[in-house]
Amino acid sequence: MDSFPDNLSPLSNPSSITGENANIILGGGLAGLSAGYVLTKAGLNVKVFESDAAVGGLSKTILKGGFRFDLGGHRFFTQNEKINKFVIDLMNGELLSVNRTSKIFMRNKFFDYPLKPFNAMFGLGVATTLKIVTDYGAEKIKRFTKEDDDISLEDWVVSNFGRTMFNLYFKEYSEKVWGVECNKISKEWVAQRIKGLSLWVAIKNAFFKFSGQKVDTLVDKFLYPPMGIGQISDKLKEGIEKGNSVFTNTRVAQVRHEGFVVKSLNAKNCDQIYDVEGSEFISSIPLTNLIRMLTPLPPQDILKAASQLKYRDFVVVTVMLNRERVTDLTWLYLPEQDILLGRIHEPKNWSPHMAPEGKTHIVSEYFCSEGDKLWNLSDEELTSITVEHLGRLGFTKKDEVIDSCIVRVPNAYPIFEVGYEGHYNKILNYLQNFKNLHIIGRSGMFRYYNMDHTIECGIEMAEKIIKNSK
Ligand SMILES: Cc1cc2nc3c(=O)[nH]c(=O)nc-3n(C[C@H](O)[C@H](O)[C@H](O)COP(=O)(O)OP(=O)(O)OC[C@H]3O[C@@H](n4cnc5c(N)ncnc54)[C@H](O)[C@@H]3O)c2cc1C
């Protein structure tokens, strides 16, 4: 059955939505589902509310006309043994081990990603390579004499990689992703994202593979479910439904509280509005939305702080092709500003089951903000721009295109603007007053979490509730 488009459907068993007190989970992405799964296994009562027609959130897989694709290819990798085992057991070991072979397209050339010294030297020329190395050396020497006063992404990258490397490799892509200049993005984002990485570690990794295994950004093998990343969420949902309920197409509109205790929520499915009481409330929906849903509303300063936190959105354009295969790549990064696309991938290189026989598809990601020019382009315009760009890169010809599918994804990346911490901490301090309201997940906690961290915080929250229930 195709999972696109997502039609609204009424609840098959409306009486099950209300009823006895349960642990209520807002959002059926990986965080909410992981929490629900662990609570269900412990025999507790759980209800999950998901506004979309399918579960999975950012980690879902769309199915259209026999083609499957993630909302931007999702590799599963973790250094946390407990989470690795949780996912492998959940999937009964049915996971593919995929080699990562990514490239970056700059100055009209394809480079290995992460950069490899010889490939970079041939592509960039000896003069630029020497400049990279001397700039890096100069920054290292500066480190001995000056205190670490890095504030922004730009500061952090320049002091860890040198100015030439920043201009060449990081600046344009980061500005495409965030939509603002790198000196306005907090260093916290990049420090979390490429923790432990420096030019020296990257070079060592290129020569002696083992050193990269400690840095997520450099890992060259990952796990992937044969039918797309959404299989993990589907398995979690199946587990919850052995005794409990996941309500899809059901949007939470209000979270009602009294004396810092949440009493109930108000959820809408089709034209019906339901009042749902509960004991513990776990939210994985965007933090800023949760704040605005609290009834009564929080004080003005909290609402103001919430209005200062922003998420970056993106549009996924998938073009289906009457052709066996286009690339052998996991991802291709496209930093340059005159190419509107940010990143592409070909799902068949992740699992052969992602496309019908003899056909393939390319998934393109456009970073943008909800309501901006790109977001508002029609589906036809987005398809035509994508096909044109893919043609320019030498990947597709117009007459090979057999179909396309556009998905607009809000709240994909929390934006860590310089100074965001003040607003964020104010909100967290306020929420800590609540006795039975908990936040988890990437959107829910406004953290740059990958799937492993997301699953981990869902599990940890469930374990805390189980412990307190005894
Ligand atoms: C482009 C991209 C690529 C990524 N690639 C990787 C990767 O390769 N590897 C990796 O480990 N991680 C990757 N990630 C991160 C990964 O997607 C997230 O860590 C994870 O999916 C977050 O799950 P979550 O449950 O916290 O949030 P979400 O997935 O955002 O889930 C929140 C859920 O709440 C629902 N919701 C919102 N409002 C309401 C409401 N009012 N009522 C009811 N439900 C509501 C939403 O529909 C959604 O399903 C990537 C992320 C992006 C954006």
How large is the average pLDDT for residues 386-414? 95
The fraction of the chain above a pLDDT of 70, given in percent, is: 87
Q: Is the shortest distance between the CB of 51 and ligand 1 below 6 Å?
A: yes
> Which of 34, 58, 250, 408 best tests ligand 1's pocket when mutated (most atoms within 8 Å of CB)?
58
Q: Find the 451 Cα to ligand 1 centroid distance in Å.
A: 8
Nearest to 446, CA basis, from 463, 423, 465, 464:
423
pLDDT at 210: 45
pLDDT at 261: 97
- For the stretch 114-163, pLDDT in tens is 766 666 666 777 888 888 888 888 887 877 776 667 788 888 888 888 88
pLDDT band with cut points at 50, 70 and 90 for residue 106:
confident
Query: What is the distance in A from the centroid of ligand 1 to the CA of 183?
Result: 27
Confidence of residue 256 (pLDDT cuts 50, 70, 90): very high
Q: Judge if the beta carbon of residue 412 lies within 6 A of ligand 1.
A: yes
**Ligand 1 geometric centre to CA of 285 (Å):** 9
Tens digits of residue pLDDT in 290-336: 999 999 999 999 999 999 999 999 999 999 999 999 999 999 999 88
pLDDT value at 52 more than 80:
yes
Q: So what's the pLDDT on residue 169? A: 76
Strand partners for 401? 321
Please, what is the average pLDDT of the chain? 89
- Give residue 104's pLDDT: 87
| pLDDT value for 135 | 83
Report the C-alpha gap between 369 and 373 in whole angstroms: 9
Tell me the pLDDT tens digit for each residue of 164-211. Answer: 888 887 888 888 888 889 899 888 877 666 655 555 566 555 544 544
Could you give the domains of the chain?
Answer: 14-94+226-309+417-469 (3.50.50.60), 106-210 (no CATH), 310-415 (3.90.660.20)
Q: Which of 65-79, 80-94, 210-224 has the lowest mean pLDDT?
A: 210-224
* Structure-block tokens of residue 206: 């290129």
For ligand 1, atom 3, name the residue with the nearest CA: 72
Q: From the alpha carbon of 365, which atom of ligand 1 is closest?
A: 1
* Burial class of residue 1 in the structure, from the number of CB atoms within 10 Å of its CB (0-12 exposed, 13-18 middle, 19+ buried): exposed
> Does 373 score more than 50 pLDDT?
yes
pLDDT of residue 158: 86
Distance CA(115)–CA(203), nearest Å, equals: 8
Find tokens 């597709």 and name the residue: 396
Query: CB-hemisphere CA count at 13 Å for 15?
Result: 0
Query: Which pLDDT does position 328 carry in this prediction?
Result: 93
More confident residue, 450 or 148: 450
| DSSP string for residues in 27-47 | --BHHHHHHHHHHHHTT--EE
Task: Read off the pLDDT of each residue in 242-257 and give the average, rounded to a whole number.
Answer: 96
Q: Which of 379, 365, 403, 375 is nearest to 71 (CA)?
A: 365
In the structure, what pLDDT confidence band is assigned to residue 6 with cuts at 50, 70 and 90? very low
Query: How far is Cα 114 from Cα 347, in angstroms, rounded to an integer?
Result: 20
pTM of the model: 0.91
Q: 148: which 2 tokens?
A: 């670490």
Q: Is 56 helix (H, G, I), strand (E, B) or coil?
A: strand
Question: Judging by DSSP bridges, how do beta strands 46-49 and 23-26 pair with one another?
Answer: parallel
Ligand 1 proximity of 36 Cβ (cutoff 6 Å) = no
For 1, 85, 412, 423, the CA distances from 453, given in Å and listed in that order, are: 31, 14, 15, 23
> Which residue in 460, 28, 18 sits closest to 239, CA to CA?
28
Mean pLDDT of 325-349: 93
Q: Whose Cα sits closest to atom 33 in ligand 1?
A: 27
- What pLDDT score does 205 carry? 58
Residue 299's pLDDT is: 98
- Structure token digits, residue 277: 């009481």
* Confidence grade of residue 218 (pLDDT, cut at 50, 70, 90): low
Which two structure tokens, joined as six digits, stand for 250?
Answer: 């059901």
* Shortest-distance atom of ligand 1 to CA 78: 11
> How does strand 46-49 pair with strand 245-247?
parallel
Structure token pair of residue 224: 């992937």
- What is the structure's pLDDT at 155? 87
Nearest CA to ligand 1 atom 48: 57
**402-426: average pLDDT:** 95
